[in-house]
Amino acid sequence: MRSVNWTSSTTTSGPKTAWILLSLGLALTIGPVVEACAILTLHDDATVLMGNNEDWVEPGVIWFVPGKRGRFGRVNVGFRDDFAQGSMNEKGLSFDAAVVPDVDWKSDPSKPSTKNLLEKIMNECATVEEAIAVFETHNCKHLARSQFMFADATGNSAVVAWLPESGLSVERIDGNHQIVTNTRLQPSGYRCQRFTRAEQVLASSRVAVSLDTVAAALESIHQHGPGAFTSYSTVYDLVAKRVFVFNLANFDEVVSFDLNEELAKKPRTLKLAKVFTNSPAITELQQAPQRQEYGTRIVLAEDLLDRYAGIYVPTIAHEVQVRVSRHKDGLRVENPNQPSAFLFPESEVLFRIAPDRGQVTFKVAADGKVEGLTLHKQIDIFAKRVGDVD
């Protein structure tokens, strides 16, 4: 649950410059994610699951805290500092966090502040809506560099973040699943490869709402390398009140706990290294190459690729003409005074700027005509298709 790095080597102004800097990602690039986190929910009428990959440089810890004096009992996961990175309480409310780039968050003097608002929520709230209400009425300093996903036993889920321009942001689930990684869901539609790969696993209408499905999504985006590795993965069953744990990206071994049974015991803390019998050595994960690719690239038919060829003019810079043409199994983008860039497909309309410098979504009308494209980076920029390439 750590961070995404954005770097810029050029500072200038004007819409044309903005398009050039953003479009090909040569002066403004998305850095590799090594300290990361991925959180997802998946549900149907009977089952609600929430999964998480916790990527960091330490082994994980799980601990159980029985309820008392009006506080709900809960299971927490995290590291040796006893700060819950994720949790599920006895009512079936769960949360996990993902670090995002820092923003200028300021306390509202009209609202109360607490040392850790997440602790208050998990101790006192039973639903996502109750958790959101607490965020709306309290200060949360952790929003300066984190966003939080909450889910409950009804199948409701939401992502809570902070936007400098508008303040508290709540993105509610739309459909049977929701995903979040280390970029805010607003104001750009950019999604990292881990987000896109998990979406590819979960988006099928035939996918089963099961532990195996969530584990498959988490396995497809786990991390390894000297910068960070997947310390542990959790899947909460919010209806059955069970937690399933995988250690060090070994998805062949799972340990499960019944929350109600655990909360009937005395408080206890378990080091995950002591719970599992077949975990890989941490040194093996650290010595592996840092993972950068997640297999999001798909194959599209030639006629689908050909339809995107054309000249596009961004709405913020009418004097700029961007040329898109077929290039092998993807697309080539040429922008004035810039080297060309290659786009590879991740769906019929979504392409990534290789290797990972942003995304492009093509707008296709019902009759199949391509009307334009939207570049997704720090912000979204639309370009209208105005003609064919020579």
Q: At which of 240, 266, 287 does a domain end?
A: 287
pLDDT at 14: 47
> Pick from 91, 46, 84: which is nearest to 63 by CA?
84
Same domain? For 307 and 211 the reply is no
Give the mean pLDDT per block of 10 residues along the chain (390 residues): 26 43 41 72 98 96 96 97 95 97 94 96 98 98 97 98 94 97 93 97 91 98 95 98 98 98 97 95 95 96 97 93 96 89 97 94 97 94 94
| 250 vs 232: CA distance, rounded Å | 9
Backbone angles phi, psi at 201, to 5 degrees: -70, -40
Same domain? For 273 and 181 the reply is yes
Read off the tokens for 82: 């006893």
pLDDT at 204: 84
Same domain? For 54 and 134 the reply is yes
Same domain? For 78 and 215 the reply is yes
Same domain? For 258 and 353 the reply is no
Bridge partners of residue 78, in order along the sequence: 61, 84
Radius of gyration of the chain from its Cα atoms, rounded to whole angstroms: 22
Same domain? For 353 and 276 the reply is no
Same domain? For 191 and 135 the reply is yes
Same domain? For 154 and 107 the reply is yes
Helices (H), 221-327: 259-263, 272-275, 282-287, 302-306
Torsion of CA 114, 118, 119, 122, to 10 degrees: 140
Q: At which of 266, 287, 308 does a domain end?
A: 287
* 161, 316, 341 from 322: Cα distances, Å: 34, 13, 11
State the CATH number of the domain containing residue 317: 2.40.128
10 occurs within a structural domain: no
Cβ-contact 310, 210 below 8 angstroms: no
Range of the domain at 364: 296-387
Same domain? For 301 and 209 the reply is no
46 occurs within a structural domain: yes
Backbone angles phi, psi at 230, to 5 degrees: -75, 105
Question: DSSP string covering 194-231, please?
Answer: HHHHHHHHH--TT---SHHHHHHHHHHT---SSS-EEE
Domain count along the chain: 2
174 occurs within a structural domain: yes
Same domain? For 322 and 210 the reply is no
178: amino acid identity, one letter:
Q
State the CATH number of the domain containing residue 60: 3.60.60.10
pLDDT at 336: 79
Same domain? For 153 and 205 the reply is yes
Q: At which of 269, 287, 305 does a domain end?
A: 287
Class of residue 301 by CB neighbours under 10 A (exposed 0-12, middle 13-18, buried 19+): exposed
11 occurs within a structural domain: no
22 occurs within a structural domain: no
Same domain? For 254 and 344 the reply is no
312 occurs within a structural domain: yes
4 occurs within a structural domain: no
81 occurs within a structural domain: yes
pLDDT at 6: 18
